[in-house]
Amino acid sequence: MIAYQFTRKNRNPRAFLILIGIYTMLIGLMILLDAVWWLMALLALTTLPALWDVIRNTSAGMELSGNSLRWHTGQRQGQLDLSKVDRFRFDTRWDFSVRVSAILKSDKLLPLPTESLPSHRKLEDVLNTAGFAVERHHFRVF
């Protein structure tokens, strides 16, 4: 029985708008500020992984079932036996992103891939409903 399932597709309007915005900015820099074309091409190369994900329409997501937590992102996937989990930890970073980790009963910290998770508020509700303790840590330096 699946308690919760989340999937995100990379071919979405937000990804298209970001890529179009970046390419428009690079072309605008070449036209308006006479930027060197090869430097703009080097900057455009950094967008190729995102463009490839949009073209292939890869997906990322997670599934919480009665006894396991599974996640996938692109071709990578993982699984965690929930009986080994002590609690989940939500770390808010200085850029306001939230990193989620599972703390195992052996005190090992297992980071979960951010792109596979729903919003941190939704995930916290799901984990609380499933009976897991959730810790929140804000703006820690270490």
Q: How far apart are CA 127 and CA 118, in angstroms?
A: 12
6, two tokens: 């989340």
Host H or E run for residue 52 = helix 48-56
- Bridge partners of 138, per DSSP, are 92
Amino acid code (one letter) for 75: Q
81-90 pLDDT per residue, tens: 999 999 999 9
The structure's pTM equals 0.74
Q: What is the CATH number of domain 2-8+60-138?
A: 2.30.29.30
At 111-139, the pLDDT tens digits run: 999 889 999 999 999 898 888 999 998 88
Please provide the average confidence, as pLDDT, over all residues in the chain: 90
CB-based burial, 106-141: b 16+ in 10 Å, e otherwise: eeeebebbebbbbebeebbebbeeeebeeeeeeeee
pLDDT digits (tens, 9 = 90+) for 63-74: 998 889 999 987
